[in-house]
Structure formats: C-alpha cells, structure tokens
Amino acid sequence: MAADGDLKPIKKLSLKENYALLTRGLGWEPTYEKKEEIFRTIDFEGIKIHDWEKWEDPFRLTMDAYWKYQGEKERKLYAIIDAFQQNNGQFNVTDARYVQALKLFLNGIVGLEYASHRGFNILGREFPGVGPRIAAQMQAIDELRHATTQIHAISHYNRFFEGMADFPHQFDRVWYLSIPKSFFEDAVSSGPFEFIVAISFAFEYVLTNLAFMPWMSGAAFNGDMSTVSFGFSAQSDEARHMTLGIEVIKFLLEQDPDNVPLVQKWIDKWFWRGYRLLALLATMMDYMLPKRVMSWSEAWTIYYEENGGALFADLARYGIRPPKYADVTIKEKQRVSHEMWSIFYSVRNAVGFPVWLPSAEEMDWFSEKYPDTFDRYYRPRFEHWRELEEKGTPFTNMTLPQLCQVCQWPCIYTEPDDPTEFVHRETEYQGETFHFCSDGCKDIFCNEPEKYVHAWLPVHQIYQGNCFPEGADPTAPDFNPLVAALQYMGIKPGVDGGLMSQHVDASRWEQWTSRPANLHEGAITQAVRKTT
C-alpha cells in the first residue's frame, strides 16, 4: 500500500485539458452493429466528412459548468419575472400597442424555439462525432430554455390581454403563423447538414441579430422588463449558438471541396427563407413599437450589408460567395415593412391582433427614415385610409390573398426595380400551377418541388373546406366560411382583430392605467381623465 507522503502531487489540469480528458474518447467505433445502421441520416445529402475529430468544440463546456452557469442565469431571470408579476409590470409598457407585438412573439416565436429544440435533438443523436453531438445537445436544451423562458416572461400578459391564450393552437392553424411554422418545419424536415447550415449558420449567425435586436431592444425601449430580461439572459446562449454556426460552416468547407456547392446552395436558400421570415420583424420594428429602436432599413444596412458583407468576404477563401438575391433584399429594404403593414391593416378582421394607422408623427419619422419611398408610395395610401376611417368607412379587404408556395406570405411584394408592380412568379409542376412572391422563393421550389408541393397553405386549405371547427355544418343556411375558418384558427371574430381604437385591449388599458392606449392618438375612453 502506498503510504502517506509517497504520492507525487497531482498534476493540475488546464480547463482545456480537463475538458479533453472528460469528453474526448467517450465515443467508440461500433463493432456489433453496422455504423450506417446506427447513423442512418448523414449520407443522403451528399456531404462528405472524412474526420469528425477535426471538429473543434468551440466552448469546451463540461456539464457541471453548464449547469452552474445556466442555473445562475435562471435564478436571476426568475427573480425579475417574479418582481414584474408582483408589481403588475405589464402596465408600465409604453402603451397597449406594444402588447400587440408581444402577441406575435408568443404565438409565432415560441413554437420555433421548440421546433429548434427538436431539430437539435435529432443532430444530437445522429451526428457520428462526440464533439458535434455534444454541441447539438447543448443547443437542443438551450432552445428548450428559450421556449420555456419566453412563455414564462410573457405568461403574465396573457392574464390581462386578449389574443395570447391559445398560442400553441394558433401556431398550428393561423394563416400568417404558417410562415414561421413552415420555415422551421422546412429546416427540421431536411437532412442534418442542411438543418445545421440553415439554422446555425444562415439563421443564427447571419440573421439572428436582426431577429434578436429588434424584439429585445424594442422590449427595453418600451418598458417591458420581463421580456428584455429574457433577452439579456438568452444573449450568452445566442453567442454560443452563433459561434457554433461559424464553426460548422468552416468544418464542412474544410472537410471536402465537394461540400462547397452544397453549402452554397443551402446558404442561398436559407438566407432567402430567413429574410422573408424577418419581414414580420421589419413590420414589428417599424409599425408596432410605440417607441422605435431603429428602422428596418437601418437594421438591414448594419446587420446584413455591413456585418454580413464582412462575413462573406471572409468566407470567399473557401469559394463561398454572398447569398443569391442579397441585392433584392437591399432594394426591398425601403419598402418591405410598409407593404406588410398595409396587408395587415387591410385584412385586420382576420388577424389575431388589432392594427392602427401610423400617426402624423410616425409618418414624419418614416419620411425621414425612408426618404426614397415613404412620401412617394405609402404616405398617400395611409392618408387616404385615414380619411376613410374618419368618414366611418375604413378600407378593408375581405378576399383571401394568394399565398406564396414557399414562404407562405401573401404575394404582396413588389418588383425589385418597380415598387408599383406586384411580383408574381409561377411555375408548373405535375400539371399544376404554383405561385411565388419572388424569384428567390421560386428558385427554392424549383430545386425541390417534391418537397414544397406538400406545403400546408392556409388559404388553399380554407377554400378546400379543411379549416372549419369540429362539428361545423357547411350546409347550414347561416354558415359563414370565413368566420368558421377564424374559429378554427383560434381567432375570436370581433375580439382579436380589427382596429386598435375599437379593441377591448385598448379600452381595458385606459381603465387600468389611466393612460391612452395609443400614445399618439389621445384617449379613446373617459378613463384617462380620472386621477384615482
């Protein structure tokens, strides 16, 4: 037996050595089952990986460190959420319009976080290397964290405002929520390499600042302590996810030159898909935040044109070029939010939140931020619509729109070089005609038509009679298919949509806070004048 004092002092390990010892070598080459039967989904996309060990884990985070670090962040976050709820922090936000943006967040984003959790679970199981599998597993549980903390941060709002109560039901059914839903289902239904390029690189690395910055800064600017605390808390997770995104891309490109064209194809596709998804963000930033952070055009300039430009310059040495149709996004940046808000305004009776026309002050802000387009194309439209509202005959559109087969937005975008002409693209496949909002979306379809014919397009489904609540009788004399479709979607006709000035959120807001529901328009109820 070794006696006391005989032992050499224990070698101190650096963090790097510690991680390497604890993690590397956990995997082994299977001999009782065939490798291709264990990892069944990594070959069909055509990506070639010669050495999984070349994967440099960028974080070197052992589980004990992960638990402690994340646990500490959770403790702080929930302390704030508890305080927010106890003090009715929901009444401290700028006005009731801000809450409408939160409805988009809860109903449209939480489902994506969960889908992302599932996508990374698949990678966490299917990647043959230890390093990439651990990285995917950690992101899988992080994404679950984001779904969880978003629900918890916004849960309290649901107790005081309409339109959030049925968020999982709506995510699966509401026509405009099929846009985010189809985006993530497109990624999750792809192979593992396309998924990681789509989400970790194209979305997290190239576009995430555009998704994260407006929501979270918007929350901060508008006094939403609960949501902004989620944002601060998630920031370090996002930083890890972005690092993973760039590591993945370099790994794939360095493994085999044959990977380059595949990766480029996915970058093109997912950049465009992500960009179209972000149109929702553009609208929210420009129109729904009572206090604005920056314009969509400014955000696109900084976060895509400048940062993205530098990134793609750096990737040029691998043979990667900037995404196809990036030029179109730059042409559209002065238009997209205005075109979108026009659509939401005109179909406001079929959406899950009320809308409003921009005030005089807001239109002046748009004139300044969008000097080439706003006064020319959109101001006259909004001024005309305001006149109609004042006459008591607000403009409304009861026709269901033609949806794009790929991004699922209504085909409302305009020609890259002509803001007065709608883009309509179409193609034939197996004897049927398919419609697109853009060349970008059409290309995506044409590369994989057999995938996109399966898209669940809400308008088509409504017209086919697939969107009625259980027990509805379409033969009844008073049957109204549009009302039935809204009920199916979980939108309460007459409650959820319409004009902000007539919405129950607005009148309740004024009763509760004694402040105007729309700070630019003055009070709509007597409640604002009360002092006790």
Return d(Cα 102, Cα 204) in angstroms, integer: 21
Shortest spacing between CB 310 and other proteins, in angstroms: 33
Q: Which amino acid is at 119?
A: G
| SS3 per residue for 70-129 | HHHHHHHHHHHHHHHHHCCHHHHCCCHHHHHHHHHHHHHHHHHHHHHHHHHHHHHHHCCC
Q: Tell me which of 291, 381, 451, 515 binds other proteins, using CB under 8 A.
A: 451
Coil/strand/helix, residue 249: helix
Q: How far apart are CA 89 and CA 110, in angstroms?
A: 21
Nearer to other proteins, 65 or 499 (CB): 65
Q: 121 or 402, CB closer to other proteins? A: 121
By beta-carbon proximity to other proteins, the closer residue of 95 and 339 is 95
Contact window for other proteins (CB under 8 A) among 153-161, 201-209, 250-258, 290-298: 153-161
Backbone angles phi, psi at 375, to 5 degrees: -65, -30
Which listed residue (208, 356, 452, 524) binds other proteins by CB under 8 A? 452
Q: How many residues bind other proteins (CB under 8 A)?
A: 100
Q: Which residues of 333-348 are buried (b: 16+ CB within 10 A; e: fewer)?
A: bbbbbbbbbbbbbbbb
Q: Which stretch binds other proteins (CB under 8 A): 161-169, 260-268, 360-368, 381-389?
A: 161-169
Phi, psi of 418 (to 5 degrees): -150, 100
Asked if 126 touches other proteins (CB under 8 A), the answer is: yes
Distance CA 466, CA 485 (A): 9
Token digits of residue 212: 């994260």
Number of C-alpha atoms within 13 angstroms, CB side, residue 310? Answer: 6
Report the alpha-carbon distance of residue 149 to residue 39 in Å, rounded.
33
Going by their DSSP bridges, the two strands 432-436 and 425-429 should be labelled as: antiparallel
Q: Which is closer to other proteins, CB of 48 or CB of 169?
A: 169
Cβ proximity to other proteins, 124 vs 218, nearer residue: 124
| Non-local CB neighbours of 519 within 8 Å, separated by 6+ positions | 94, 95, 290
| Span interacting with other proteins, options 152-160, 325-333, 390-398, 434-442, rule CB under 8 A | 152-160
Instruction: Tell which one of 55, 84, 98, 114 touches other proteins (CB under 8 A).
Output: 114
Q: Site mask, other proteins, residues 128-147, x = CB under 8 A? A: --x--xx--xx-xx--xx-x
Expressed in percent and rounded to 5, the helix, strand and coil fractions of the chain are: 60, 5, 35
Q: Which residue in the set 96, 102, 109, 164 belongs to the binding site for other proteins (CB under 8 A)?
A: 164
Q: Kindly tell me which residue out of 59, 60, 92, 125 binds other proteins, with binding defined by CB under 8 A.
A: 125
Rounded Cα distance between 278 and 375, Å, is: 24
* Buried/exposed 182-201: b ≥16 CB within 10 Å, e otherwise: bbbbbbbebbbbbbbbbbbb
Contacts of residue 31, Cβ cutoff 8 Å, sequence gap at least 6: none
Tell me the closest approach of the beta carbon of residue 133 to other proteins, in angstroms.
7
Residues 167-196 contacting other proteins, CB under 8 A:
167-169, 171-173, 178, 181-182, 185-186, 188-192
The one-character DSSP state at 424 is -
Rounded to a whole number of angstroms, the distance between the first and last alpha carbons of the chain is 82
Among 52, 58, 60, 152, binds other proteins (CB under 8 A): 152
**91 vs 312 by CB, closer to other proteins:** 91
- Cβ 414 to other proteins shortest distance, Å: 26
CB of 73 to other proteins, least distance (A): 8
Among the listed residues 428, 454, 478, 526, the single contact to other proteins using CB under 8 A = 454
Q: Mask: binding to other proteins, 4-33, rule CB under 8 A, as x and -?
A: x--xx-xxxx-------xxx-xxxx-xxxx
Q: In the complex with other proteins, which residue's Cβ is closer, 183 or 378?
A: 183
Please state the closest distance from residue 166 (CB atom) to other proteins, in A. 4
In the complex, least distance from residue 452 CB atom to other proteins, rounded to whole angstroms: 8
CA distance 54 to 255: 9
Per CB under 8 A, contacts with other proteins among 471-530 are 490, 508, 512
H or E stretch including 517?
A: none
Residues 65-94 that bind other proteins (CB under 8 A): 66-68, 70-72, 74-75, 77-78, 87-88, 91
CB 427, CB 446: distance < 8 Å:
yes
Measured from the CB atom, the residue of 186 and 268 that comes closer to other proteins is 186
> What is the closest distance, in whole angstroms, from the C-beta atom of residue 60 to other proteins in the complex?
12
Which one of 47, 110, 219, 407 is in contact with other proteins (CB under 8 A)? 110
Give whichever of 85 and 427 is closer to other proteins, judged by the CB atom. 85
Rounded to an integer, what distance in angstroms lies between the CA atom of residue 140 and that of residue 338? 36
CA neighbor of 346 nearest in space, from 295, 410, 292: 410
52 within 8 A of 254, measured Cβ to Cβ:
no
Which one, 89 or 497, has the nearer CB to other proteins? 89
Q: Give the residue with the Cβ less far from other proteins, 311 or 504.
A: 504
| Least distance (Å) between residue 236 CB and other proteins | 14
Least gap, CB of 145 to other proteins (angstroms): 4
Q: Which stretch binds other proteins (CB under 8 A): 110-118, 206-214, 426-434, 495-503?
A: 110-118
